[in-house]
Amino acid sequence: VIRAYPNFFIGGNVFYKMAIENYNATIKLIKDLAENARFFEIELDREMEFNAGQFVNLVFEEEGRKFVRPYSICSSPSIKKSLELTIGLVEGGEFTSPLWKKEEGDSVGVKGPMGGFCVKETFAKDLLFIGAGTGIAPLRGMIKDCIERGFKAKMYLLFGERHEDRIFFEDEFEGMMEEHENFKFLKILSKPGDNWEGSNGYVQDNVDKLGIEDFSNVRAYICGRNGMVDSVRSKLLEKGVLAGDIFVEKYG
């Protein structure tokens, strides 16, 4: 497997297809991020090479039924022996309902890595990451990766959710903002509480709050449910982001 990053700063096409393989994994850590949203750390039986932003299929069998669903890796590819995932429980969901019964120490199958939602090319432009809900997952992995690799241009993260307690990894993003002056994080709440003094509404209606001067110099990565992704994409095109500079991952 060729690791692409030596080209990262000199403008080559850095995205190489990683081999898709099956792994046996153990759930090492389960943490509640909010009501019905969990952070999972799963330990693989061997190292996995992947690009930040890719996803894996989680697989398990129960009572003769096989369950499979894709989940974005929210950790950096510098950690190869375990993967971090951010998963929302869907009411009556065929996969997430049995997944919620899993405990630390349980086994799960992993197939991957897959997908091309990655920071692929040269770091010539500023990066704009926009996510809603669990759509933050691949963006967190990409941002961590860019920071680890010393990305110097600007990086913006717009994270939308209904309530403040569902802004996952808030402390982490705030910390990154303090430490890296080229990283700006803004949270947007669509149903804020009475004491909320920050930005509200939908993410697409708040892109102007980031202070971006030239949208044609921005490469954007959007992740979330279909409707949100389409609305944000239209807004960014309207603002002047080039169509070829918009990359999306839709969760359905």
Q: Which is nearer to ligand FAD, 83 or 158 (CB)?
A: 83
Q: Are 30 and 38 in contact (CB under 8 A)?
A: yes
- Which of 233, 237, 223, 232 has the alpha carbon at shortest distance from 205? 232
Give per-residue burial for 62-89: e unless 16+ CB within 10 Å, then b.
eeeeebebbbbbbbbbeeeebbbbbbbe
Q: Which is nearer to ligand FAD, 93 or 109 (CB)?
A: 93
Q: Which is nearer to ligand FAD, 47 or 94 (CB)?
A: 94
Q: What are phi and psi of 156, to 5 degrees?
A: -120, 140
Minimal distance, residue 60 CB to ligand FAD, in Å: 12
Q: Are 227 and 204 in contact (CB under 8 A)?
A: no
- Which of 179, 182, 178, 199 has the alpha carbon at shortest distance from 190? 199
Minimal distance, residue 37 CB to ligand FAD, in Å: 8
Minimal distance, residue 50 CB to ligand FAD, in Å: 13
Query: Which residues, other chains included, contact 171 with Cβ-Cβ below 8 Å and sequence gap of 6+?
Result: none
* Amino acid (1-letter code) at residue 39: F
Q: Which is nearer to ligand FAD, 120 or 209 (CB)?
A: 120
Q: Are 90 and 99 in contact (CB under 8 A)?
A: no
Q: Which residue is nearest to ligand FAD (CB)?
A: 93
Minimal distance, residue 6 CB to ligand FAD, in Å: 27
Q: Which is nearer to ligand FAD, 242 or 248 (CB)?
A: 248
Minimal distance, residue 121 CB to ligand FAD, in Å: 21
Site of tokens 């509404």: 201
Q: Which is nearer to ligand FAD, 71 or 151 (CB)?
A: 71
Cα(150)–Cα(128) distance, rounded to whole angstroms? 16
Q: Which is nearer to ligand FAD, 72 or 76 (CB)?
A: 72
Residues in the chain, how many? 252
Residues that bind ligand FAD (CB under 6 A): 55, 69-72, 86-88, 90, 93-96, 115, 134, 137, 249, 251-252
Minimal distance, residue 164 CB to ligand FAD, in Å: 19
Minimal distance, residue 197 CB to ligand FAD, in Å: 28
From the centroid of its chain, how far is CA 63?
A: 32
Cα(138)–Cα(85) distance, rounded to whole angstroms? 9
Q: What is the DSSP letter of 232?
A: H
